Amino acid sequence: MRTIAITNQKGGSGKTTTAVNLAGALAEQGGKVLVLDLDPQGNASRWLGTPSDGKRMLSVLSRESPLADVVVPTSIDGVHVAPGGAWLASAERALAGEVGAELALKEALASLDGMSWDFVLVDTPPTLGLLTISALVACDEVLAPVEASSLAIVGVGDLVRTVERVRDRLNPRLRWLGVVATRVDSRTNVSREVVALIRTRFGSDAFDTIVRESVRFKEAPSHQVWMGEYDAHGVGHRDYRSLATEVRARRAA
Ligand SMILES: Nc1ncnc2c1ncn2[C@@H]1O[C@H](COP(=O)(O)OP(=O)(O)OP(=O)(O)O)[C@@H](O)[C@H]1O
Ligand SMILES: [Mg+2]
């Protein structure tokens, strides 16, 4: 079971879009995938057709419920979701004073080992609080989407430092799966520059795949279907298929 935290504290970088559509593409290629929604916004859960108040996910983080009880199927063959939602916004406060709160998700994921998932994709909120740290402690791999617009690349230094700190202090197994440029519009200088900067900065940790800008990504969530169903012949589906192929090729050490 490969565990992948999809993270970038910069809001709107494409984390949720990547979680949902990479999950679909990995499943299409034969994988069994669990999407774990750790974001109080609950966008991934809504997109996957399983909106939630997040109360049950919060009880998993409080060690009161087993994660397996929270998991539900989605309309995508091979994809399950552990939905999140607004209650998760109170995680920080609810778990304050609990020693080892950031380890609860790791224990919950360990309890899934032996079940049939090949990939767990954890969608994280755009903050560096307990929820994101829990994801980085629980997972072996980090995948960061970076929006190819002028300001987005600025926050990447923080992300790199966070990953290094979590690795040094809390989770020595943590490694980069890769950084992927999203919302790329190759007609613009800024998109080309961001793609080049990612390649310079991350070297072989940068994915060859780039995810292009497509208006379809804005439409699909309200239909509660992923790109493979909403626009199977479009660039969005093609790009996430290509990302899935790379993710499978980059096996965790
Ligand atoms: N490749 C793309 N082309 C066009 N629009 C995109 C693309 N990827 C994401 N978007 C749009 O950008 C916005 C942000 O995407 P998304 O919700 O996936 O980011 P996020 O990192 O999960 O945001 P948050 O930090 O709020 O959780 C959404 O409106 C989404 O539809
Ligand atoms: Mg999101």
- CATH classification of the domain holding 218: 3.40.50.300
Task: Write out pLDDT tens, residues 28-68.
Answer: 999 999 999 999 999 999 999 999 999 999 999 999 999 99
10 lines ligand 1 (CB under 6 A): no
Starting from the CA of residue 14, give the closest ligand: 1
Starting from the CA of residue 18, give the closest ligand: 1
pTM for the full predicted model: 0.97
Q: Are 214 and 183 in contact (CB under 8 A)?
A: no
Question: What does each C-alpha distance from 206 to 145, 182, 214, 240 come to in angstroms?
Answer: 10, 12, 21, 15
217 lines ligand 1 (CB under 6 A): yes
Per the structure, the complete domain to which residue 151 belongs is given by 2-249
126 lines ligand 1 (CB under 6 A): yes
Task: Please tell me the distance from the alpha carbon of residue 249 to that of residue 253, in angstroms, as a whole number.
Answer: 12
**Total domain count, the chain:** 1
Q: Kind and range of the H or E element at 191? A: helix 189-202
Residue that is written with structure tokens 């080309």 in the block = 192
pLDDT beneath 50, residues of the chain: 253
230 lines ligand 1 (CB under 6 A): no
Distance 218 CA to ligand 1 centre (A): 8
Starting from the CA of residue 45, give the closest ligand: 2
